[in-house]
Structure 1
Amino acid sequence: MAQYLHIRCVVKTDRTSAHERIQSVGGVKPDGSRWILTQDKAISCIQDGTHVFYIEKPGGLRLEVIVATSARGNYLKTVADREQPDKLLSLPSCP
């Protein structure tokens, strides 16, 4: 069974392409400890079925994070995003 992890923050690169802006994603585990994964590792976890990642919008609406593909390769975005990973990019920076 896949482990569900709530993404609460991102580490961004200085690249101008939205598909290449996310370096890592992170959050807080149920036990209160922080976690952070590179985008590549998070993509592998989704593809392997070991983890399901999501963000939470105001009011408790959960948006699942999926793997999308651009000409430059795979990247993360939410199911509500169009081509750009806008919802993830709007999250605060990880500490």
Structure 2
Amino acid sequence: MADNIQIQCINKTNRTSPFERISHIGGITPSGGRWKLSLDEAIKGIESGKWQFYVDVKGQFVWVVISKSASGQKYLKTQKDGEQPNNLLSLPECP
């Protein structure tokens, strides 16, 4: 069974561009430490069943899924997002 993990921050390849790809996701562990994964590590973890990620959007848990761009590149977005991963892109920058 996959561990459910909340994503609380992201890093983008170009933070000022709304169209740039997410490079890392991160958050805080139950013990208060920080965790951070590359996009590729997160996708592999989802595909293998190791992890299932979610974000908190106004008190609602929204699951993160893998999607593919028109060019076939995998990326993360929430189930409620359209083509752009707005729920993830709106998260603060990871340290």
Shared fold (TM-score greater than 0.5)?
A: yes
Conserved? CA contact 2:39–2:75, under 8 Å: yes
Residues in 1 aligned to 2:93 and 2:43: alpha-carbon distance in whole angstroms: 19
Question: Which amino acid in 2 is paired with 1:47?
Answer: E
**RMSD (Å) for aligned C-alpha atoms:** 1.6
Shift of 1:17: 7.2
Shift of 1:94: 0.5
- Extract structure 1 runs of 4+ deviating beyond 2 A: 15-18
Residues in 2 aligned to 1:72 and 1:24: alpha-carbon distance in whole angstroms: 19
Structure 1 segment 20-59 matched on structure 2, within 5 A = 20-58=20-58
Residues in 2 aligned to 1:17 and 1:30: alpha-carbon distance in whole angstroms: 30
Unaligned ranges ≥5, structure 2:
none
Residues in 2 aligned to 1:75 and 1:57: alpha-carbon distance in whole angstroms: 19
Deviations 1:18-74 (A, max 9, x none): 3x420000001111111000011100111001000000012x200000000111410
Residues in 2 aligned to 1:6 and 1:17: alpha-carbon distance in whole angstroms: 22
Residues in 2 aligned to 1:17 and 1:74: alpha-carbon distance in whole angstroms: 17
Residues in 1 aligned to 2:34 and 2:45: alpha-carbon distance in whole angstroms: 17
| TM-score computed with the length of structure 2 as normaliser | 0.90
Q: How many residue pairs are counted as aligned between the two chains?
A: 93
Q: Match for residue 69 of structure 1?
A: 68
Shift of 1:14: 1.8
